[in-house]
Amino acid sequence: MLKVDHASVYFQTRDGRTVHALDRVSLAIPENSFVVALGASGCGKSTLLNAIAGFLPLSDGAITLDGRPVTSPGADRGVVFQKDTLLPWKTVIDNVALGLKFAGVPKVARRERAERLLHLVGLKDFAAAFPYELSGGMRQRVGIARALATEPDVLLMDEPFGALDSLTREQMQELLVSIWKETHTRIFFITHSIEEALFLGTQVVVMSPRPGRIVARFDLDFVRRFAETGDARAVKTSPEFASLREEIRDILHGSEELRSAAE
Ligand SMILES: Nc1ncnc2c1ncn2[C@@H]1O[C@H](COP(=O)(O)OP(=O)(O)OP(=O)(O)O)[C@@H](O)[C@H]1O
């Protein structure tokens, strides 16, 4: 179980102000779950993900992964960002195998695992290509393969499809569900798209802006329904999907109005 317990983060800005970015956030990411944090820009979603990744320290509270405190980055957590971070001078397969090289995995095993992962993300014919030869969606798929290479306990994804066109984005969501189902890797995913959150999450936490806190939680089964039927359209056009979309929209608008009134 990955547990975030009353996590708070304060930043000191260079002009001496204190920004309260995260306020006593608690959540659990159990095995086989797909937890999505949803909120408007600036509500502390990336701060939360970066703390779970071990990139930044909490000011208060604790994060543990299977009982071990999280204090620095580790191979047990794979990260995918909105902008791909592939090395342009390395081939696709070498990019995927990079973390394995650092982990001391022998060359033949590295290649085998990287090939398997490229197959998983539908890029087995692009092993020898360079990142500039790929589309944005393909580069994100390489990033996912790379993040999965070390077989992490949890995949952390910070708006990974935010820069993609809407059709590619939908295809990537569906691909991610099949990867989640096949690898059983739990996922923590950040988005500001209500539809994306509803479609993907087994649990959706809605965050309010400054200080970022969780204002609502939903346990959902749309993603499992899609995983069983393969019919995304039926899921997204269902009356439950539409009514939750409106409910969450009201919550997001309500918390934004409260914040504006307080400023
Ligand atoms: N290093 C930093 N120093 C000072 N303030 C920061 C720092 N990092 C983030 N913040 C502030 O903390 C708040 C939360 O930022 P964060 O990036 O976590 O939000 P977000 O919800 O991920 O936003 P977006 O969706 O736009 O990426 C913002 O007000 C931001 O300006």
Q: What's the CATH number where 253 sits?
A: 3.40.50.300
Contact between 169 and 158 (Cβ < 8 Å): no
DSSP H helices in 80-238: 92-102, 107-120, 136-148, 166-183, 194-200, 222-229, 232-236
| Domain co-membership, 135 together with 222 | no
CB-ligand 1 contact for 213 (6 Å cutoff):
no
Q: Could you tell me the residue range of the domain that residue 217 belongs to?
A: 2-76+153-261
Q: What is the pLDDT of residues 171-192, one digit of tens each?
A: 999 999 999 999 999 999 999 9
What distance lies between CA 216 and its chain's CA centroid? Answer: 19
* Total tally of structural domains belonging to the chain: 2
* C-alpha 211 to ligand 1 mean position (Å): 10
In this predicted model, what pLDDT tens digit does every residue of 138-164 receive, in sequence order? 999 999 999 999 899 999 999 999 988
Residue 259 has pLDDT above 70, yes or no: no
Q: Looking at the domain assignment, is residue 82 inside a domain?
A: no
3 state DSSP class of 26? strand
Q: Enter the DSSP assignment of 92.
A: H
Nearest residue (by CA) to ligand 1, atom 16, is 44
- Any ligand 1 atom below 6 A from CB of 44: yes
**What is the pLDDT, as a whole number, of residue 84?**
82
Comparing 255 with 138, which gets the higher pLDDT? Answer: 138
The residues, any chain, with a CB within 8 Å of residue 253's CB and separated by 6 or more, are none
> Tokens 């919550």 identify what position?
251
The pLDDT assigned to 101 comes to 83
- Which pLDDT belongs to residue 163? 87
**Best CA proximity match to 65, nearest among 150, 152, 3, 148:** 3
- What is the C-alpha radius of gyration for the chain, rounded to an integer number of angstroms? 19
Same domain, 66 and 173: yes
How many residues comprise the chain?
263
Q: Does ligand 1 come within 6 angstroms of the Cβ of 47?
A: yes
pLDDT tens, 190-222? 999 999 999 999 999 999 987 899 999 999 999
Of 99, 129, 151, which one is at a domain's C-terminal end? 151
Ligand 1 atom with minimal separation from the 190 CA: 22
Verify that 113 and 20 share a domain, yes or no. Answer: no
How far is ligand 1, taken at its centre, from the CA of residue 120, in Å?
33
| 129 has a pLDDT exceeding 70 | yes
Distance in angstroms (rounded) separating the CA atoms of residues 127 and 130: 8
Q: Given this model, what pLDDT does residue 258 score? A: 64
The pLDDT value given to residue 185:
93
Averaged pLDDT for residues 30-38:
95
Same domain membership, residue 131 and residue 165: no
Axis crossing angle, helix 222-229 with helix 166-183, rounded to the nearest 10: 80
Please give the backbone phi and psi of residue 77, each rounded to the nearest 5 degrees, phi first: -130, 115
